[in-house]
């Protein structure tokens, strides 16, 4: 079995609220076909890839539910699954999940080259708030619309088409939290897929962040966490102007040394590819980041004992 | 109280095994004076700043003990403490610690502008091995010469001279482990000081890393972990050729956005300074990295439950 395979990041340009599902799906199938034509066996789509980033609005009822998938696959996404299976290409895709018992998650799935869903993930690190921020033009209401992910960060060992890679998933904000990466790293992850929708302005209502700084942050965390866990990473944006709200691009493929080997240059639909040599993870995993030899969990207790900050008292 | 103060990284060039303590101390005092002349109130020296990086050799007896400090301060470092107190400058410095009961640690201390030791740290993440690597020209024997740090990662609230900063310490390899940063982040750290001696070649006997890549790694982890914990960081090298064994430079001061605001350009004794505005930590700590609002410790359990990797089984 070759331990090298080609993977693609399928960055998507903006999806407007008025865009039809057919239109969005045809764009995704076009990206899939471009990637397959370049030899990719894995295509990574963004977070909430089938819709606009709807948590920026206050929605309810049918208007809200229309953004959610009640099963996966389903009739409105089947064409993507069918085309991928015909091309013998697998994919990662993010979507809004509505369960039979009415729970909602910001989810992603990993679909192998046979069209089988081999792993599912529900976003753990939901940013934003439950209640709208007074006076803000755009909201960040993920905490209103989604429950916290309850599946952990599962890693899965894949088959020959992807070199037998141990793969894991994250969604958007998860990538800024080293815990997400470490939980996958502790499962020996060799390739992390992460889709995102990240505002090009300060998403918290502040004024100190712009698109350049926010793209730098996005790239920086992918690079460093890939290095610190000796894994490949593919981070993929939905980018550009969605109904007047800007999203950063900067989709990238990062090697286990934290180096960017491919990066998108537009804010539009764009395919980038790289050859993923899984054995490049070996040196880091066996030496510098040999966790069994060097980690000291007894010194980390506070990481799992509490969520928030407790500041030290003043020295007298 | 102003929340802005000037800090310096005091990168040191190489210290040869044959160099006298007096010679090394005079270099350190020279750096201290340069930093003070530029207005710095804090000077960060490297790991094991008073000696060569002796864990590259097999040593024992007096030859080994000569690299260790039996108390701090002591007569052979007093001139540095005295000069700093006279200049009203505080400092971080790394040294090899030999306790009264014979234990050995790779340690650092934080000394305030009154010359008082206000915090002490013992390196948690010891790289290398206990036994020498057969055939290697230079060893990495920190696991042989030092016990694992047993003081955790203590953060300390400092006084007016440093803007009341909450400060923490790491040593060298600690900076590559996001757990080190997170334990400090959970104490609200605003400035992390880390000294290092990092090989300019592959320290594990591999052949895929050179000085450029290793400097990139060093900078990358300081930047990303500073950003992910919304803290300033000052990372300081002992650099250059020590008895034929190369050490990287790249000492840097990083802001809470992960941006490098000052970086050394040589492999020699060199001062870089920056104005540390502690309030720049506020946006990250209150919003994107509001730990209490966004962290999910129940999903992180594995981080403290085990040290090493457990890979997933194959999908059938």
In percent, the amount of chain A with pLDDT more than 70 equals 98
Indicate yes or no: CB of B308 within 8 angstroms of CB of A291.
Answer: yes
For residue B40, what is the DSSP state? -
Q: Is the per-residue pLDDT at B126 higher than 60?
A: yes
Residues of chain B numbered 233-292 and touching chain A (CB < 8 Å): 257-259, 283, 285, 287-289, 291-292
pLDDT digits (tens, 9 = 90+) for A124-177: 999 999 999 888 878 999 999 999 999 999 999 999 999 999 999 999 999 999
- Annotated catalytic, B47? yes
A/B interface, count of CB pairs below 8 Å = 226
pLDDT interval class at B12 (50, 70, 90)? very high
Confidence band, pLDDT 50/70/90 cuts, at residue B229: very high
Contacts of A214 (CB under 8 A, 6+ apart): A198, A199, A200, A201, A248
- Chain A partners of B300 at a C-beta cutoff of 8 Å? 179, 182-183, 303-304
| A55 DSSP assignment | G
State the pLDDT confidence band at B136, using cuts at 50, 70 and 90. Answer: confident
Q: How far is B19 from chain A (nearest CA, A)?
A: 30
SS3 content of chain A, % helix, strand, coil (to 5): 30, 25, 45
- What is the DSSP pairing of strand A232-237 with strand A252-254? antiparallel
Radius of gyration of chain A (CA): 19
Q: Is residue B136 less than 8 Å (CB to CB) from chain A? A: no
Strands B232-237 and B252-254: antiparallel
Residues sharing a CB contact under 8 Å with residue A245, sequence separation 6 or more, in sequence order: A53, A56, A138, A199
Indicate if A287 belongs to the active site: no
Nearest Cα neighbor of A187 from B310, B315, B178 is B310
pLDDT of residue B314 exceeding 90: no
Closest CA to B168 of B233, B214, B90: B233
Q: What is the rounded distance in angstroms from the CA atom of residue A259 to the CA atom of residue A281? A: 13
Separation in Å, CA B220 to CA A289, B214, B258, B260: 15, 10, 9, 10
Are the C-beta atoms of residues B74 and B68 closer than 8 Å to each other? no
Question: Which one of A155, A220, A315 has the shortest CB-CB distance to B258?
Answer: A220
- Alpha-carbon gap, residue A187 to B96, rounded angstroms: 35
Q: Domain segments of chain A: what residues? A: 4-305
DSSP code at position A160: G
Residue A224 in contact with partner chain B when CB distance is under 8 A: yes
**What superfamily in CATH does domain A4-305 come from?**
Carbon-nitrogen hydrolase (3.60.110.10)
Q: What is the DSSP letter of A149?
A: P
ipTM of the complex: 0.97
Between positions 172 and 201 of A, the ones with CB within 8 A of B are: 173, 176-179, 181-183, 185-188
The pLDDT tens digits for A78-130 are: 999 999 999 999 999 999 999 999 999 999 999 999 999 999 999 999 999 99
CA separation for the pair B166, B282 (Å, rounded)? 13
How far is it, in rounded angstroms, from Cα A207 to Cα B147? Answer: 47
Q: Is B123 a catalytic residue?
A: yes
Q: Which distant-in-sequence residues (6+ apart) come within 8 Å of B246 by Cβ? A: B199, B200, B201, B211, B240
**Nearest chain A residue (CA) to B256:** A217
């Amino acid at each position: 079995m070759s331990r090298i395979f080609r993977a693609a990041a399928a960055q998507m340009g903006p999806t407007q609220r008025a865009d039809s599902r057919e239109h969005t799906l045809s764009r995704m199938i076009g990206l899939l076909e471009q990637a397959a034509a370049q030899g990719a066996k894995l295509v990574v789509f963004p977070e909430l890839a089938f819709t606009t980033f709807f948590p920026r609005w206050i929605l309810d009822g049918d208007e809200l539910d229309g953004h959610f998938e009640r099963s996966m696959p389903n009739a409105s996404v089947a064409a993507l699954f069918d085309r991928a299976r015909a091309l013998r290409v697998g994919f990662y895709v993010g979507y809004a999940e509505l369960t039979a018992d009415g729970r909602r998650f910001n989810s992603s799935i990993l679909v192998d080259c046979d069209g089988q869903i081999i792993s599912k993930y529900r976003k753990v690190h939901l940013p934003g708030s439950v209640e709208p921020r007074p006076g803000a033009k755009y909201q960040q209401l993920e905490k209103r619309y989604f429950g916290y992910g309850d599946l952990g960060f599962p890693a899965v060992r894949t088959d020959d088409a992807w070199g037998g890679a141990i793969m894991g998933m994250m969604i958007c904000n998860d990538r800024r939290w080293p815990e997400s990466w470490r939980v996958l790293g502790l499962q020996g992850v060799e390739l992390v897929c992460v889709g995102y929708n990240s505002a090009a302005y300060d998403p918290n209502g502040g004024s100190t962040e712009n698109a350049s700084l926010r793209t730098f942050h996005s790239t920086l965390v992918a690079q460093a966490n890939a290095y610190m866990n000796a894994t490949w990473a593919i981070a993929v944006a939905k980018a550009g102007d969605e109904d007047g709200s800007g999203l950063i691009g900067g989709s990238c493929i990062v090697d286990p040394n934290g180096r960017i080997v491919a990066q998108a240059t537009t804010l539009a639909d764009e395919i980038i590819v790289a050859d993923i040599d899984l054995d490049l993870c070996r040196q880091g995993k066996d030496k510098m980041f040999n966790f069994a030899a060097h980690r000291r969990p007894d010194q980390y207790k506070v990481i799992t004992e509490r969520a928030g900050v407790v500041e030290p008292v003043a020295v007298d």
